[in-house]
Amino acid sequence: MDIDMKAKKSFALLLALIMCLTLFASCGKDGDSDSSPSASTVPSQSDNTPGASSPGSPAPPSNSETAPGPEVVYYAVTTFSDPWWDPALFMGIMNADLAGMIYENLVFLEMDGSVTPQLAESWDISADGLTYTFHLRKGVMWHKGYGEFTSADVKFSLERHLDPDVGSVNADNLAMSNVASIECPDDYTVVVTLLNRDVDLLNRYAMFYGMIVCKAHHDKDGADSLNTDPIGTGQFIFDGGTLGIKTEGVRNREWWGEFTGNIDRVISTYINDTNTIYAAFDNGELDAIGLYDRDKVAEYAAKGYPVTMNPVLQLLYIGVNMQLEPFDDIKVREAFFYAIDVDYYIENLFYGMESPVGSYVPPTCKYALRDYYKHEYNPDKAKELLAEAGYANGCPFTMWSVNDALGQPPAILAQDQLSRAGFIVDMQNVEFGVYIDKVRNGAAPMWVLYNDTSPLGDAMIIRYKSDFYPGNNWSGVIDDEYDSYVNAAMNATTEQEKYDNYHAAQRRMMDLRVVFPVATNSMGRVSQTNVSGFERYADMGFRLATVVKTP
């Protein structure tokens, strides 16, 4: 190349100039780059009054001008959290992670399992247990100026679960088929009359599917608005965001309860990858995160971050399908139970933070049988049983697990322990959709999963009824005795009768050796050192009235 030195220098200078100019040009535009119209820069509260941006919407609350310091909490949830805001479509607390700070229920479930007033100040139950009269709190205002909360909202919120157009997946959870009528004698009284006694009615109304929605909002803005612009009476007002990207909430200064914290705004971002969540937290971009990974919980605790452990509504399960070979043989199932070393799991996977359990229903659930099953690790006994079952040279099968950061480690441990006891494990770590298709359709001889349930715990028992196979009876439990206990419990009219039958069902299930409950799995919430006051809630929901953030 015959380019003289002068040309090279000119060329280098020119290039440097171009690069500097382009860099300056790119730096010129500051602010939040989020181009979605609904997710803009965090504005001051005065110019971001909820509802102000939609012409014709009811007047926003006037007290937003009196906002103190703009304390913001950034919180990370997974993409599967809050896929929609309509309580009729909530499937689990993971769908309603943030809903508890926007919506409220008639009653509230405390950590000890008791039910206390929320939107209903008090209630009376008739002597026959068929009539519940709720006396509503007066002066509770809907967010964004939709007026006062009244009995009509309660009636609407419950009855819409029976509307086919709504497509509610929670009509059964609310036992709506057992409701004879819902009457509103006045604006502050609701009378629910049942066909049969239901000792768990208040618990049902305290759950995420019992959240009360605003009738005026529905009537004015249409049914779809419940999904995109939730209007509640709770601590925070939904203030934009897009499902799957982020949710923003601004403090409700007209809330009837007492704020002891100082958070004015919460921004929740949806991140699928747990490593990204940890990296963002380490970088100070998130104020608080929820996590199950015991390594990280221990690491953050050791570093001095405030850690809160939430109640145990989740267990780690290793289950088998008793309709499929080789687990159609009780001896093989017993061998499987002897092959799992729970102590090793607790020590090495959970760092001693979790406990063994006596049943497949989490111990904090109302109907859990806490001390029945006593684990015994005995790989030699397992080998003997396999030999008796005709598998002296190894018992081959396929084990399915989810290929995420949470699902793989317990599956790898299970593979190792089962292999030592004479099983030959073909491990299939697959994406969640593939996994759930296999287990639901009775194609998974063994499955490993962390699974949670509601504070009652009855759903975890009911799911193993014969008529739910194939389906959510992943273990193929087709057993008349089990069914009879569950049916008796479901139709029981006294609390004791329910306890007795649900406990009998759990004993039967554990004796069948189909679902091995390895240990509890509580969720940790870690916050930055300048953020404190996170409280534990029985439903594992997210509320911020007590949270304090200091500069």
For another protein, the binding residues in 168-227 under the rule CB under 8 A are 168-169, 172, 224, 227
Does residue number 279 form part of the binding site for another protein (CB under 8 A)? yes
> What's the one-letter identity of residue 422?
G
- Between residue 90 and residue 119, which ones bind another protein under the rule CB under 8 A? 91-92, 94-95
Closest contact distance (angstroms) between CB of 414 and another protein is: 18
Provide the residue count of the chain. Answer: 551
- Between residue 391 and residue 420, which ones bind another protein under the rule CB under 8 A? none
Rounded to whole angstroms, the Cα distance separating 276 from 78 reads: 11
Record the tokens describing residue 459, joined without a space: 């759903």
Contact letters for another protein, residues 528-547 (x by CB under 8 A): --------------------
- Between residue 235 and residue 254, which ones bind another protein under the rule CB under 8 A? 242-246
How many CB atoms sit inside 10 A of residue 379's CB?
19
- Name the residue nearer to another protein (CB basis): 71 or 329: 71
Q: Are 420 and 379 in contact (CB under 8 A)?
A: yes
- Between residue 295 and residue 354, which ones bind another protein under the rule CB under 8 A? none
- Name the residue nearer to another protein (CB basis): 167 or 390: 167
Three-state SS for 152-167 is HHHHHHHHHHHCCCCC
Closest contact distance (angstroms) between CB of 441 and another protein is: 9
User: End-to-end CA distance of the chain, in Å?
Assistant: 60
> What's the one-letter identity of residue 296?
K
Closest contact distance (angstroms) between CB of 78 and another protein is: 10
b/e per residue 184-197 (b: at least 16 CB within 10 A): beeebbbbbebeee
Which among 402, 392, 394 is positioned nearest to 444, based on CA atoms?
402
Does residue number 30 form part of the binding site for another protein (CB under 8 A)? yes
- For residue 471, what is the DSSP state? T
Please choose, out of 196-204, 336-344, 409-417, 464-472, the segment that lies near another protein by the rule CB under 8 A. Answer: 464-472
> What's the one-letter identity of residue 12?
A
Closest contact distance (angstroms) between CB of 278 and another protein is: 9
Q: Which one of 17, 20, 22, 65 is in contact with another protein (CB under 8 A)?
A: 22
Please choose, out of 125-133, 408-416, 465-473, 485-493, the segment that lies near another protein by the rule CB under 8 A. Answer: 465-473
Does residue number 459 form part of the binding site for another protein (CB under 8 A)? yes
Record the tokens describing residue 473, joined without a space: 């009876």
Please choose, out of 250-258, 268-276, 334-342, 507-515, the segment that lies near another protein by the rule CB under 8 A. Answer: 268-276
Instruction: Name every residue whose Cβ is closer than 8 Å to that of residue 436 and which is 6 or more positions away in sequence.
Output: none
Q: Which one of 333, 438, 513, 525 is in contact with another protein (CB under 8 A)?
A: 438
Q: Which one of 449, 492, 523, 544 is in contact with another protein (CB under 8 A)?
A: 449
Q: Which one of 126, 260, 276, 494 is in contact with another protein (CB under 8 A)?
A: 276
Contact letters for another protein, residues 47-86 (x by CB under 8 A): ---------------------------x----xx--xx-x
Q: What are the strands, taking DSSP E only, across 431-498?
A: 446-452
Please choose, out of 53-61, 136-144, 163-171, 174-182, the segment that lies near another protein by the rule CB under 8 A. Answer: 163-171
Q: Which one of 127, 128, 258, 283 is in contact with another protein (CB under 8 A)?
A: 283
Q: Compute CA distances 121 → 134, 187, 205, 365, whole Å.
A: 8, 14, 14, 25
Does residue number 471 form part of the binding site for another protein (CB under 8 A)? yes
Does residue number 431 form part of the binding site for another protein (CB under 8 A)? yes
- Name the residue nearer to another protein (CB basis): 284 or 396: 284
Closest contact distance (angstroms) between CB of 305 and another protein is: 17
Does residue number 286 form part of the binding site for another protein (CB under 8 A)? yes
Please choose, out of 52-60, 149-157, 275-283, 334-342, the segment that lies near another protein by the rule CB under 8 A. Answer: 275-283
Element (H, E) at 379: helix 379-388
Which among 324, 326, 292, 328 is positioned nearest to 310, based on CA atoms?
292
> Is residue 349 classed exposed, middle or buried when 0-12, 13-18 and 19+ CB atoms within 10 A define those classes?
buried
- Name the residue nearer to another protein (CB basis): 172 or 511: 172
Q: Are 434 and 418 in contact (CB under 8 A)?
A: no
Q: Is the dihedral of CA 291, 296, 297, 303 positive or negative?
A: negative
Record the tokens describing residue 256, joined without a space: 């009837």
- Name the residue nearer to another protein (CB basis): 4 or 480: 4
